[in-house]
Amino acid sequence: MNPVRRRLSSATVCRALLVGICLSSAMMAQPALAQSSSLSLTPAVIMAKGTFGQSLTQKLTINNNTPATFRFDMVAEDVAVKNGKRVFLPAGESPGSIAANAVFSPSEIVAPPHTSATVMMTVTLPQKTSLRAMVAIFHTKNVVATNEKGVGLTASIGTLVTFNLTNDVAVSIGPLQIHPPTDTTNLSIDSELTNIGTEPVLPKGTAAILNAKGHLVGKAPFTIKRLLPGEKLDFQAEYPGTLPAGTYRALCTFVVGSKIQNVQSDFTIR
């Protein structure tokens, strides 16, 4: 007998290692997820504009569209940006923490099946902070632990709160990357945008496609994404139309607050 097979057989096959749930009669009695059984949160995003030291009070509503009772702790975390990406930090860990000044009423909440529950959140901004976002999380206490052998799944959901406190709005637009269409993909235009200001922004971009004569032959919107200060993300516009072979120019315009920025690049369709 193969030595490897001998070593493994007793540890695995003979002891009948069970990973997951056996197809027992008990499990067969539980219904599969035939219809939606979801958690939802309103609002999912709050955008506040003001100054340092101001307070914000907002109602948050969790909708429990499941057959189970959910118990939540309200948790606040700061959202910072490191190396161009968001990180979530416990309240009070960062200097000028906004989440440390968040108060929830109540701080624990129970949502019976197919009901909604509401929490009032009050946030007071520090007099000085470089942070511009926090999340208010309905942190579930539910643990789907079973007697059967399996993987339980449960969910928490949070509201993003952003703060615009000054007029320092600025975005850097990277060079355009143009991917010509193929048999299975559309023409796509990509650009990496970086928020180089101190305030969150929602850049809105449009790509205009001009032919060799400078005539407009098509337009496509860029995906809208929120950029926190220091964050960099790839923005993409996809043009679904057909372009004959030839030379074109992509003229892209981004509106950031009251500022308009343009970037362009030529490309060829073969």
Partner 1 sequence: MKRLGILSGALFILLPLAHGASTVHPVRAVRVGVHLRNATPMQVTVGQTLTFDFVPLSQGPKLMSAMGGGILNLGTVSYYGGSTNKGIQIQRNDENFAVTAPLGVKLESGSSSSGTASLKAWLSMPVDPYQVYLDNVLLTLQPTAIQNAMAMGVTTHALKIVVPRSANGSSADFKASISFEITEN
Neighbour-count burial of 220, counting CB atoms closer than 10 A to its CB (0-12 exposed, 13-18 middle, 19+ buried): buried
- Of 1, 2, 3, 16, which lies in the binding site for partner 1, with binding defined by CB under 8 A? 16
Element (H, E) at 246: strand 246-256
Residues 56-85 that bind partner 1 (CB under 8 A): 56, 58, 63-64, 66-70, 85
> Is 246 among the residues that bind partner 1 (CB under 8 A)?
no
Residues 176-235 that bind partner 1 (CB under 8 A): 223-226, 233
- Of 22, 110, 120, 269, which lies in the binding site for partner 1, with binding defined by CB under 8 A? 22
At 51, give phi and psi (nearest 5°): -135, 170
Nearer to partner 1, 227 or 248 (CB): 227
> Is 25 among the residues that bind partner 1 (CB under 8 A)?
no
Minimal distance, residue 145 CB to partner 1, in Å: 5
* Cα separation, 226 vs 228, whole angstroms: 7
Nearer to partner 1, 74 or 248 (CB): 74
Nearer to partner 1, 248 or 254 (CB): 254
Q: C-alpha angle with apex 108: 106 to 112, nearest 5 degrees? A: 105
Instruction: Report which DSSP code applies to 11.
Output: I
> Is 266 among the residues that bind partner 1 (CB under 8 A)?
no
- Of 72, 76, 109, 159, which lies in the binding site for partner 1, with binding defined by CB under 8 A? 159
Nearer to partner 1, 233 or 256 (CB): 233
* HSE toward the beta carbon, residue 70, CA cutoff 13 A: 27
Nearer to partner 1, 88 or 267 (CB): 88
Minimal distance, residue 210 CB to partner 1, in Å: 25
The type of residue at 21 is I
Minimal distance, residue 269 CB to partner 1, in Å: 26
From residue 205, how far is each of 4, 27, 116 by CA, in Å?
60, 51, 37
Phi and psi based region of residue 127 (left: phi greater than 0; alpha: psi -120 to 50; beta: remaining)? alpha
- Of 102, 109, 131, 137, which lies in the binding site for partner 1, with binding defined by CB under 8 A? 137
Residues 165-184 that bind partner 1 (CB under 8 A): none
Element (H, E) at 7: helix 3-9
